[in-house]
Amino acid sequence: MDRISVPELTGTNYFIWSLKMQAALSLKRLDSVTTQMKPEGLSEKDASEWEQKNSDAVAYIKLSLSDKQALQFVAENNAKILWDKIKSTFTGQTGDRKIYAGNEFKSLQINSNELANDYIARARGIATKCHSLGLDVSPRELVYYTVRGLKGNLLKYETF
């Protein structure tokens, strides 16, 4: 598993991008520089190691941004600040995003020609998005709204 693939951050996929980017940075042992600032009083060797990790993390993050997104963050060279700025950009209006995610979850419907596995994965993704915004979705609610979203398609087959 030498190749790590993170989707490009386009502006509409922040939650999946964040999840995968955190995993990739963790595998590269770079995640610590996105969660804390450079500690005070490091030895010269440790400070140099921290700077290299920070530089590598910034590069990985910036390389995963779409051109449009990269231009917004071009000047940032601190991994934690960059990570926090990206997060606040895409989760900044949390109240509005909570309302939208809650409505998206409660109005979940299977699309025509959508495979059941894809529909379930989409439902779980929306539930994860809700959770990341502070909306708790119980397993029972996930099942309820997922099954309810099948209702329209199931009616087609009731005549058999």
Q: Give a three-class secondary structure readout of 50-95.
A: HHHHHHHHHHHHHHCECHHHHHHCCCCCCHHHHHHHHHHHHHCCHH
How far, in Å, CA of 99 to CA of 41, rounded?
45
CB-CB contact of 38 with 54 (8 Å): yes
Residue 32 CB burial class (10 angstroms; 0-12, 13-18, ≥19): middle
Residue ranges per structural domain of the chain: 13-87, 108-155
- The residue that leads in pLDDT, 91 or 88, is 88
Task: Look at residues 99, 93, 89 and name the one whose alpha carbon lies nearest to residue 11.
Answer: 89
pLDDT digits 0-9 by tens, 121-147: 999 989 988 887 778 899 999 999 999
pLDDT digits 0-9 by tens, 22-77: 999 999 999 999 998 988 998 999 889 999 999 999 999 999 999 888 888 989 99
How far, in Å, CA of 29 to CA of 31, rounded?
6
- The residue that leads in pLDDT, 129 or 120, is 120
pTM of the model: 0.62
How far, in Å, CA of 120 to CA of 114, rounded?
10
Model confidence band, residue 2 (pLDDT cutoffs 50, 70, 90): low
- The residue that leads in pLDDT, 82 or 15, is 82
**pLDDT score for 100:** 83
Tell me if residue 122 falls in helix, strand or coil: helix
User: Taking the chain, what is the end-to-end CA distance rounded to the nearest angstrom?
Assistant: 48
At 1, list the tokens: 């598993």
Tell me if residue 9 falls in helix, strand or coil: strand
